[in-house]
């Protein structure tokens, strides 16, 4: 885990993670955040906390069995996996708005 940074007040900052989401899920998260008057980051934190607590409760209730996946979760996971595999096969994609080729102009010769 990376070293924790400190804020300008000297307090340690909370650990940070980076998550890659499919565009559809990101849009849904943004819509939820807006409806709750939260930032997308804060909404993600709240949903992660709720999910972890629910997972821990399920695991505690059924220690010998894995918790069953919610209906449709396996399908969504498979679809996400297929999308990632297609991206791998397709190679790298150009960012939207990025130039295809950067042209550098040489300065005129000095006299």
Query: Does residue 10 lie within any of the structural domains?
Result: no
What does residue 12 show for φ and ψ, rounded to 5 degrees?
-70, 140
pLDDT band (50, 70, 90) for residue 74: confident
Query: Does residue 103 lie within any of the structural domains?
Result: no
Res. 28: pLDDT tops 90:
yes
Q: What integer is the mean pLDDT of 5-25?
A: 85
Query: Does residue 18 lie within any of the structural domains?
Result: no
Query: Does residue 15 lie within any of the structural domains?
Result: no
Query: Does residue 3 lie within any of the structural domains?
Result: no
Query: Does residue 1 lie within any of the structural domains?
Result: no
Question: The domain containing residue 58 runs over which residues?
Answer: 23-86
Query: Does residue 31 lie within any of the structural domains?
Result: yes
| Total tally of structural domains belonging to the chain | 1
First to last CA, the chain: 55
Query: Does residue 106 lie within any of the structural domains?
Result: no
What average pLDDT does the chain have? 80
């Amino acid at each position: 885990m990376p070293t924790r940074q400190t804020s300008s007040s000297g307090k340690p900052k909370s650990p940070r993670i980076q998550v890659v989401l499919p565009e559809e899920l990101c849009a849904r998260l943004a819509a939820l955040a807006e409806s709750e008057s939260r930032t997308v980051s804060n909404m993600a934190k709240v949903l992660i906390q709720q999910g972890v607590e629910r997972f821990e409760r399920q695991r505690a209730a059924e220690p010998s069995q894995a918790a069953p996946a919610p209906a449709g979760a396996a399908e969504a996971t498979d679809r996400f996996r297929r999308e990632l595999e297609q991206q791998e096969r397709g190679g790298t994609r150009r960012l939207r708005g990025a130039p295809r080729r950067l042209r550098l102009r040489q300065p005129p010769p000095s006299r």
